[in-house]
Each structure stands twice: as structure tokens, then as C-alpha cells.
Amino acid sequence: MPSQYFENYGVISLTAASTTITDEGFVGSRLVFNRAAGATAILPAATGSGNRYEFIVGTTLSGGNYVVRVANSSDIFVGWALFSADAGDTAVMFETAADSDTITMNGTGTGGVRGARVIVDDIAANLWAVNCISNASGTEATPFSAAV
């Protein structure tokens, strides 16, 4: 049976500096960033499993970044980030680039404030679909980069 059918495990608090996400331990759970100094979540390799991982910012950053990145240099993200801007009741949207493999939220311009969500779906070999929703402040900027 595909791993996306594993039971929902509830909420997992991510408090380590770096966490390697596994199908068996994390599918079906809400993964909550709760480390004020920042944290990195490393996804499993994309295979087309259909697995979904949802990251939520639970603790406001006091330094560092919240990062979600792929497992290897072959995997990429496709999708978008939607930020509510801090002026004029407006929204700002950013699309992934052809080589986007890392999402970096700094708690201000690239999103990642408390309540932010990043949802990633394993849709094909080497391909993750991503949707980010967050508030952003200051000069809003894309959270997507090629860093792996």
C-alpha cells in the first residue's frame, strides 16, 4: 500500500536545527516549526508517491531561517508563494524558477511568520508541487532558490 495511506499521526513539533523527513515517520502529520533560532527540513527524494507534507510556523523566529529543501540536486519545486503584504491590504505572489529546490522563510520579507504554511506534494520523480501561504513584511521577496 502506498505510504500516503499511513494513518494521520497528528502534530510533530520540529525543534532540532535539522530534520530529515521520512515517509514512514511524517506522512499525514502537521510538521510545526518550533525553533526560534530557525530550522531546516529535508524532504525525501521525490518519486511520484503522492505523499503530502504540511509545514506550519508555530514559533516566531528570533534569528536564522525556516527552510524546506529537497533531498538531492535532481529534485525541484514547482508552484508558488502567496504573501499578504504589510502595506495597503495587498498580496504578493512569487513563482518557482526552473531550478528552485529550496524554500527559505526569514520571518519578514520571505514569509515565515507564525501561522505560515508550506504544503508540498510528491507528484513525480524529481518533482515536488509547492504552495506557500504567509504574511510578509518589509520588502517582500521570493522564498525560492537553487541551493542544493
For 12-58, what is each residue's pLDDT tens digit?
Answer: 999 999 999 998 889 889 999 999 999 999 999 999 999 999 999 99
In which band, very low, low, confident or very high, does the pLDDT at 5 lie, cut at 50, 70 and 90? very low
pLDDT digits (tens, 9 = 90+) for 65-83: 999 999 999 999 999 999 9
Q: Output the pLDDT for position 6.
A: 46
Judge residue 1's burial from the number of C-beta atoms within 10 Å of its C-beta, 0-12 exposed, 13-18 middle, 19 or more buried.
exposed
Pairing of strands 127-135, 76-84: parallel
In which band, very low, low, confident or very high, does the pLDDT at 85 lie, cut at 50, 70 and 90? confident
Kindly report the backbone phi and psi dihedral angles of residue 22, in degrees, each rounded to the nearest multiple of 5, phi listed first: -120, 155
107 pLDDT more than 50: yes
Percent of the residues in the chain that have a pLDDT greater than 90, as a whole number? 83
Residue range 81-106: average pLDDT? 93
Residue-range domain boundaries for the chain: 3-145
Buried b (16+ CB within 10 A) or exposed e, 61-86: beeebbbbbbbeeebbbebbbebbee
Q: Output the pLDDT for position 88.
A: 72
126 pLDDT more than 60: yes
Q: Output the pLDDT for position 8.
A: 53
